[in-house]
């Protein structure tokens, strides 16, 4: 998996590096069989090596504890995996085994568990098989047993059943690996929160303790003065370099004012330093300001730098939208981009929802070279400057937002649609026309009833399975519209 900076920007926008997910892998079967059928274990160990090789090729750190044959070996594996601090543990049931062999792993290792059972081929050769040959196909046999015991132990049960080289089964397994990427990113994320709430947006307000207690991540509270002092230190040479970088990435509209462009470049360099100094994985910000004072100018000058950071894999969004930066981080780490998004209008004649946002955008979801447009005013905000504009790639997209309920609990809220061609506003926004294959008004009603809030992340591709699996690993509710 590669970061979702599009190939055209990958060389000039270095991707942000973060901790890879840690996958624990253990294979097993009932040791009683080995002396009875001497050829069985070697065959199963060969299957386990194939599974291990497939996992090693994924963009993750894999701790393979090998093959277990009894409950004692299961307990040893559990301790090894506990020390590995896994984001996901995969139990490969190669043949029948008892639940007592794998329950300690699920109980003690401190990570969510995925059970897989992959028989050697599509079907048995009944005419030639004896009992030993059949047992190699018996990995499905203990799956209900393990599921029952997990339920009784209060452990969430997940499984993928198939055959060893069945790519459709591996696609399902890969969804769980993508989910582990999200869990790893959110467990260890450092979220920056700078400025203050956009006045009156009650849905945006988030209890800062909620992210550490739900995911394990950290929220760093920042002030615009933290940015100001770094912007003050930016040199003219650095501004020129940033302008040159922006010219490589963006087409400049005639409306761009040179002074505003230079200011946006200066703020962009300062933003990079802020992110580096506080080791941030995301940043949400807002400052109202008054009469052109410096903090107002900083807030209005954020969009260029925020879009460059977002393109590198560090979601940077306005309106103090902490929860949406979390959603953008989730969509980013599975390679699906993720642009700050809201509903703009409905087109009942074409049956589409028009959505997008002014301000920070994810370059990887653009269908063309992004445009920098000069704005004399940001609607609903103070200040002026340059904004990023493009239309989203045509084809499937998945929305992901973070909802919050009355009891404070978070949820993943998702919906899949298709971006279709048609007229778009040219007002310095990222915009798209999304067909959800239903009346757009009905879609808005269903989407709004989930508790998703004002903004969300728009990601490319059909990623609903990844986000559903991630909610499972994170222990939060999942709601699909």
10 in any annotated domain: no
- Are residue 182 and residue 194 in the same domain, yes or no? no
3 in any annotated domain: no
Q: What is the pLDDT, as a whole number, of residue 357?
A: 77
> With 80 as the cut, is the pLDDT of residue 380 above it?
no
- Are residue 261 and residue 401 in the same domain, yes or no? yes
Total domains, the chain: 2
Tens of pLDDT, residues 444-457: 999 999 999 889 99
**What's the pLDDT band for 19 if we cut at 50, 70, 90?**
confident
Q: What is the pLDDT, as a whole number, of residue 365?
A: 79
* pTM (2 d.p.): 0.91
7 in any annotated domain: no
- Are residue 412 and residue 320 in the same domain, yes or no? yes
Q: Give the domain CATH number at 305.
A: 3.20.14
- Are residue 179 and residue 306 in the same domain, yes or no? no
- Are residue 233 and residue 318 in the same domain, yes or no? yes
- Are residue 218 and residue 232 in the same domain, yes or no? yes
- Are residue 141 and residue 94 in the same domain, yes or no? yes
- Are residue 182 and residue 197 in the same domain, yes or no? no
- Are residue 427 and residue 303 in the same domain, yes or no? yes
Residues spanned by the domain of 165:
22-186
3-state secondary structure labels for all residues of the chain: CCCCCCCCCCCCCCCCCCCCCEEEEEEECCCCHHHHCCCHHHHHHHHHHHHHHHHHCCCCEEEEEEEECCHHHHHHHHHHHHHHCCCEEEEEECCCCCHHHHHHHHHHCCCCEEEEEEECCCCCCCCCCCHHHHHCCCCCCCHHHHHHHHHHCCCCCCEEEEECCCHHHHHHHHHHHHHHHHHHHHHHCEEEEEECCCCCCHHHCCCCCHHHHHCCCEEEEECHHHHHHHHHCCCHHHHHHHHHHHHHHCEECCCCCHHHHHHHHHHHHHHHHHHHHCCCCEEEEECCCCCCCHHHHHHHCCHHHHHHHHHCCCCEECCCCHHHHHHHHHHHHCCCCCEEEEEEEEECCCCEEEEEEECCCCHHHECCCCEEEEECCECCECCCEEEEEEEECCEEEEEEEEEECCCCCEEEEEEEEEECCCCCCCCCEEEEEEECCCCHHHHHHHHHCCCCCCCEEEEECCCHHHHHHHHHHHCCEEEEC
> With 80 as the cut, is the pLDDT of residue 305 above it?
yes
Q: Give the domain CATH number at 96.
A: 3.40.50.10940
Q: What is the pLDDT, as a whole number, of residue 2?
A: 36
**What's the pLDDT band for 245 if we cut at 50, 70, 90?**
very high
- Are residue 297 and residue 325 in the same domain, yes or no? yes
470 in any annotated domain: yes
Percentage of the residues of the chain whose pLDDT score is greater than 70: 95
Q: 143, 171, 186: which is the final residue of a domain?
A: 186
Average pLDDT of span 8-36:
88
16 in any annotated domain: no
Q: 148, 166, 186: which is the final residue of a domain?
A: 186
């Amino acid at each position: 998996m590669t970061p979702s900076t599009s190939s055209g920007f990958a060389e000039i926008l270095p991707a942000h590096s973060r901790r890879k997910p840690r996958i624990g892998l253990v294979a097993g079967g009932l040791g009683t069989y080995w002396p009875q059928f001497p050829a069985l274990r070697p065959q199963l160990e060969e299957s386990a090596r194939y599974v291990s090789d497939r996992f090693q090729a994924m963009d993750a750190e894999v701790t393979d504890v090998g093959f277990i044959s009894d409950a004692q070996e299961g307990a040893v594996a559990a301790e090894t995996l506990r020390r590995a601090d896994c984001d996901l543990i995969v139990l490969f049931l190669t043949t029948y085994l008892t639940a007592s062999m794998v329950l300690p792993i699920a109980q003690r290792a401190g990570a969510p568990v995925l059970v897989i059972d992959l028989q050697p081929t599509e079907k048995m050769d009944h005419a030639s098989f004896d009992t030993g040959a059949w047992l190699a196909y018996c990995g499905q046999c203990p799956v209900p047993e393990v599921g029952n015991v997990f339920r009784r132990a209060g452990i969430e049960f997940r499984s993928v059943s198939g055959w060893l080289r069945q790519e459709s089964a591996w696609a399902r397994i890969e969804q769980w690996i993508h989910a582990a990427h999200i869990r790893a990113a959110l467990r260890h994320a450092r979220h920056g929160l700078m400025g203050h709430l956009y006045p009156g947006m009650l849905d945006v307000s988030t209890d800062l303790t909620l992210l550490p207690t739900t995911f394990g991540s950290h929220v760093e509270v920042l002030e615009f003065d933290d940015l100001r002092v770094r912007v003050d230190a930016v040199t003219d040479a650095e501004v020129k370099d940033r302008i040159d970088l922006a010219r490589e990435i963006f087409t400049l509209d005639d409306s761009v004012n040179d002074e505003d462009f230079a200011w946006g470049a200066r703020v962009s360099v300062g933003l990079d330093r802020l992110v580096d100094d506080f080791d941030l994985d995301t940043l949400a910000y807002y400052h109202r300001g008054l009469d052109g004072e410096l903090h107002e100018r900083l807030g209005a000058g954020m969009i260029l730098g925020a879009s460059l950071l977002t393109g590198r894999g560090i979601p940077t969004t306005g309106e103090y939208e902490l929860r949406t930066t979390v959603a953008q981080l989730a969509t980013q780490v599975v390679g699906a981009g993720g642009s700050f998004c809201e509903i703009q209008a409905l087109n009942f004649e074409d049956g589409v929802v028009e959505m997008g946002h002014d301000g920070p955008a994810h370059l990887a979801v653009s269908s063309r070279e992004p445009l920098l447009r000069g704005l004399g005013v940001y609607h609903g905000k103070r200040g002026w400057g340059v904004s990023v504009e493009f239309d989203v790639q045509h084809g499937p997209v998945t929305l992901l937002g973070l909802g919050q309920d009355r009891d404070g609990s978070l949820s993943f809220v998702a919906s899949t649609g298709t971006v279709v061609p048609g007229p778009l506003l040219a007002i310095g926004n990222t915009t798209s026309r999304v067909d959800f294959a239903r009346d757009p008004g009905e879609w808005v009603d269903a989407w709004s009833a989930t508790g998703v809030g004002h903004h969300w992340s728009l990601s490319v591709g059909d990623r609903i399975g990844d986000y559903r699996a991630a909610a499972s690993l994170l222990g939060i509710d999942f709601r699909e519209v």
